[in-house]
């Protein structure tokens, strides 16, 4: 079994814990479903968020999906002028037999404009 990385991103309308939880869970559930990922397939998740999101950590939101035993880490996205605001990105590392071409990257809400070359 190989190791694969799956990209994803979403945006929040408002910077609240509730909005973060809703957006992150929606994104992760779609990534898991699109790539047929079970809990035991997960290796780790790396989250970044834009500097304007300070209400809670994306990893805290992810833990509501019973991911407390999966290594999760957050970082602040580089503050580049004129980029998409209130954005959370994730890289999910999984064990998978899928080829790179079979991996489905997921971009939700306002983040659909990002990485259109990867978005399915």
Per residue in 19-67, pLDDT (tens digit) is 999 999 999 999 999 999 999 999 999 999 999 999 999 999 999 999 9
Residue 120 lies in a domain: no
Would residue 50 count as lying in a domain?
yes
Answer whether residue 118 is part of any domain.
no
Q: Does the pLDDT value for residue 119 go beyond 90?
A: no
Number of independent structural domains in the chain: 1
- Compute the distance between CA of residue 52 and CA of residue 118 in angstroms, rounded to an integer: 25
Q: What CATH number did the domain enclosing 75 receive?
A: 3.30.1330.40
Active-site residue numbers? 7, 63, 74, 77, 89, 107, 115
Q: pTM (2 decimals)?
A: 0.92
Predicted confidence at residue 19, as pLDDT, reads 97
Q: Which domain holds residue 58?
A: 2-113
């Amino acid at each position: 079994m190989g190791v694969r990385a799956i990209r994803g991103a979403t945006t929040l309308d408002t910077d609240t814990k509730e909005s973060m939880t809703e957006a992150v869970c929606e994104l992760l559930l779609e990534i898991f479903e699109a790539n047929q990922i079970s809990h035991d397939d997960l290796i780790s998740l790396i989250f970044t968020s834009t500097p304007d999101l300070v209400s809670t950590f994306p990893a805290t939101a992810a833990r509501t999906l019973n991911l407390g035993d999966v290594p999760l880490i957050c970082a602040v996205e580089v503050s580049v002028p004129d980029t998409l605001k209130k954005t959370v990105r994730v890289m999910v590392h999984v064990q998978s037999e899928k080829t790179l071409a079979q991996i489905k990257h997921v971009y939700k809400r306002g983040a659909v404009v990002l990485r259109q070359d990867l978005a399915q």
